Amino acid sequence: MTGESPRLFILLSCASDQAWAIPQSCLAEIVTVPAAGEQPPEAIDWRGGSLPVLDLGVGREQSWRDPRSGSGLIAVMLGVEQASPGCWGIALRNTGLGISELAADELEDVPEAVLENARAAFRLDEVIYQVPDLPAWQETIYSQLTKERPRCT
Spatial separation of the C-alpha atoms in residues 153 and 150, rounded to whole Å: 10
Judge whether residue 150 has pLDDT over 60: no
Would you place residue 12 in the very low, low, confident or very high pLDDT band (cuts 50, 70, 90)?
very high
Beta-strand relationship, 71-77 and 88-92 = antiparallel
87 and 109 in contact (C-beta within 8 Å)? no
Amino acid making up residue 78 = L
Q: Residue 149: what pLDDT?
A: 39
Please provide residue 137's backbone torsions phi and psi, each rounded to the nearest 5 degrees: -65, -40
Judge whether residue 153 has pLDDT over 60: no
105-128 residue pLDDT tens:
888 999 999 999 999 999 998 999
Q: Which of 48, 58, 49 is nearest to 16 (CA)?
A: 58
73 and 92 in contact (C-beta within 8 Å)? yes
43-88 residue pLDDT tens:
999 888 888 999 998 877 777 888 888 899 999 999 876 555 578 9
3-class SS at 105?
Answer: helix
